[in-house]
Amino acid sequence: MGWADSVPVPPKQIHEIKDFLLTARRKDARSVKIKKNKDMVKFKVRCSKYLYTLCVSDFEKADKLKQSLPPGLSVQDL
């Protein structure tokens, strides 16, 4: 076990909603965390290797995206 094994891997940013939904439907996707700020909503999906993030500035699109997340995935609002 070298020093590289303990270095945290930075999250990968996704820019398209379609790509985020495909990532959330993967078998290794465990959970989604939703963080709301005053000017944007951040969606974070935890997969086996990476944490994938999507930033949405339109709150209506964020609500639609939240409704279209897979039902088996655990969703946590922060």
SS3 string of 27-72?
A: CCCCEEEEEECCCCEEEEEECCCCEEEEEECCHHHHHHHHHCCCCC
Angle subtended by helix axes 59-67 and 17-24, to nearest 10: 30
Q: Give 9-45 pLDDT, tens digit per residue.
A: 899 999 999 999 999 999 999 999 999 999 999 999 9
Write down the pLDDT at residue 5. 65
Enter the pTM of the model.
Answer: 0.86
Write down the pLDDT at residue 7. 73
Using a pLDDT cut of 90, give the percent of the chain over it. Answer: 78
Cα–Cα–Cα angle for 60, 63, 24, nearest 5°?
Answer: 130
Write down the pLDDT at residue 8. 79
* Alpha-carbon distance values, 52 to 15, 67, 75 (Å): 10, 18, 14
Write down the pLDDT at residue 4. 59
